[in-house]
Amino acid sequence: MRRWLTQMGIYGFLVLVTIVTLYPLLWVVGLAIGDGQRRGGLNPFASAPSLDGFQTLFRQSGFGQALFNSLAISLAAACLGVLLAATLGYALSRFQFFGKDAGLKSIIVSQMFPGVVSSIPIYWLLHHLDLLDSRTGLVLVYATTSVPFCAYAAKGWFDTLPSDLLDAARMDGAGPWRTFWTVALPLAAPALAVTFLFAFMGAWSEFILAQTFLFEESNYTVPMVLQRFTDPHSADWRAFAAGSLIVSAPVLALFYTLQKHLVGGLSAGAVK
């Protein structure tokens, strides 16, 4: 009986926590399909739901283009970031070289410097590489932003790979690249999934750098379009919420595809 009570208590508690967790999100949903009136009280849903918010959103010129841009930029940045991070993390984990320790430390330490004024030198750099106002430039910037964390996570993961496996590949005649591609990388899939997710999310929701570096409307990203609905004086929160739902969809899809790896991928690097 006592055991049963405990069990019920745990379920009750978990359900409560889940409700508290979901509640703010329900407001976003409620706002998006609401009637556009501000609502008080505890019930986030309007009595007469409407899809006007989505209509406004899709009428906003360039939303489709921005959606495409954001997807392209974020995917490219995530792929590039993961690739750079994986190779770098592999080198830091498996290679012997002078400055390895210092390199790893500076990667961690670089995370501690707030990027308040970083956009200024990056702007200069992109300008001189002729990558201002280009999706490529933004891909490069986003990819780099994610590399330190991702390389750190990837290194932790590669550390846990049994060295016998990599030796075996070497014995089987595989060179360093072949070993990396065919053995280390597939085995690091969970960690790569997590780093991919991080890199993607970072790029997907970034506004400030996009606003600074992109000029042409045809290059705009989704956060830039969504930001328009929060302009002072003329905010349209319903359209913003509708946009939020659309923006969240790919990330959620990614999360659920990768969630199997998520649990192991984050920590395994540190456990063993």
Partner 1 sequence: MNAPLLLLWFATGVLNSPLAAAELLAQSGQEITKKSEAFDCGQSFKAEGEPLVLWHAWRDQEAEALAKVVAACGLPLKVTSSPFEGFPEKVSTALAHGRGPDLFIFAQDRMGQWLKAGDLATQQAVPGRFLPVAQEAFLHEGQSYGLPLASKSLVLFVNRALEEQPLEDLAMVPPRDQPLLWTTLDSYYHAFPFLAAAGAAPFDEAGQLQFPSESDRQGLEMLGRLVNELKVLPRSLNADQAKAAFIEGRATYLMDGPWSLDGLRARVQELEIRPLPKVNGRPLRPFLGVDGVFVSAHSTRLELARSVASALASDRSAALRLERAGQLVPNLKVGAWAKAQGLRPLASQAMAAQVNGYPTPTQAEMLAIWGPAKDAVTAVVRQGTPAEDALSLAKRRIQKMLDPLPPPADLAPWFVVAGLLGVMGLIVVVRRYRADRLTRRSRTPLPTLLGFALPGGLVLILLVGAPILTGLGMSLFARGEESWRFVGFANYLSILASDGLGPTHPLSFWFTLVVTVLWTLINVALHFGIGLGLALLLFRPGLKFRTPLRLLLILPWAIPNYITALAWKGLFDEQFGAVNAMLLTLGLDPVGWWDTGVAAFTANLCTNVWLGFPFMMVTALGALSAIDGDQLEAARMDGAGSWFRLRHVILPQVMPAMVPALLLGTIWTFNAFNVIYLVSGGAPAHATDILVSEAYRFAFEGQQRYGYAAAYSVLIFGILVLFAWASTGVKGRRES
Partner 2 sequence: MGAVKPVSLALEGLGFTFPGADEPVLRDIHLKMDAGGFLVLVGESGCGKSTLLRLLAGLEKPTNGSILFDGVEVNELEPRERDVAMVFQSYALYPHMTVAENLGFPLRVAKQSPESVRSRVGEVAEALGLSALLQRKPGELSGGQRQRVAMGRAMVRQPRLFLFDEPLSNLDANLRAQMRAELGQRHRELGITTVYVTHDQVEAMTLADSIALLRNGRLEQVGSPEDCFMRPETDYVASFFGQPPAAVVPGAWSDGILQLGQGQVPFKADWSQGQDSQLKVGLRPDALVLDTEGSLEGHLDEVEYTGAECRAYFRLRGLEDHRVCVSIDSNEAAKLNVGTTARLGVLNDRILLFGADGKALRVTPE
By CB under 8 A, is residue 264 in contact with partner 2? no
Using CB distances below 5 to 8 A depending on partner kind, what does residue 188 bind out of partner 1, partner 2, none? none
Among 106, 182, 257, 267, binds partner 2 (CB under 8 A): 182
Piece in contact with partner 1 (CB under 8 A), picked from 46-54, 165-173, 226-234? 226-234
Give the closest residue to 80 by CA, choosing from 38, 31, 6, 137: 137
- Residues 136-165 touching partner 2, rule: CB under 8 A, are 162, 164-165
- Which residue from 24, 40, 173, 232 is in contact with partner 2, where contact means CB under 8 A? 173
Among 16, 72, 108, 168, which residue interacts with partner 1 (rule: CB under 8 A)? 108
Q: Looking only at residues 80 through 139 of this chain, which bind partner 2 when binding is defined by CB under 8 A?
A: 96
Rounded to a whole number of angstroms, the minimum distance from the CB of residue 159 to partner 2 is 17
The binder of partner 2 chosen from 104, 187, 246, 262 (CB under 8 A): 187
228 binds partner 1 (CB under 8 A): yes
- Residue 263 CB neighbour total at 10 angstroms: 11
One residue of 1, 47, 177, 186 binding partner 1 per CB under 8 A = 177
Question: Is 166:45 a contact under the CB 8 Å cutoff?
Answer: no
Tokens (6 digits) for 142: 């986003």
Tell me how far CA of residue 166 lies from CA of 74, 149, 254, in angstroms.
32, 24, 30
Q: Cβ(141)–Cβ(129) under 8 Å?
A: no
Binding partner of 167, given partner 2, partner 1, none, CB within 5-8 angstroms per partner class: partner 2
Closest CB 187 distance from partner 1, rounded Å: 16
From partner 1, partner 2, none, interface partner of 127 (C-beta below 5 to 8 A by class): partner 1
Q: Which is nearer to partner 1, 102 or 171 (CB)?
A: 102
Which of partner 2, partner 1, none has residue 53 at its interface (CB below 5 to 8 Å by kind)? none
Contact stretch for partner 2 (CB under 8 A) within 38-46, 185-193, 214-222, 258-266: 185-193
Q: Which is nearer to partner 2, 31 or 193 (CB)?
A: 193
Q: List contacts with partner 2 (CB under 8 A).
A: 96, 162, 164-165, 167-175, 178, 182-183, 186-187, 189
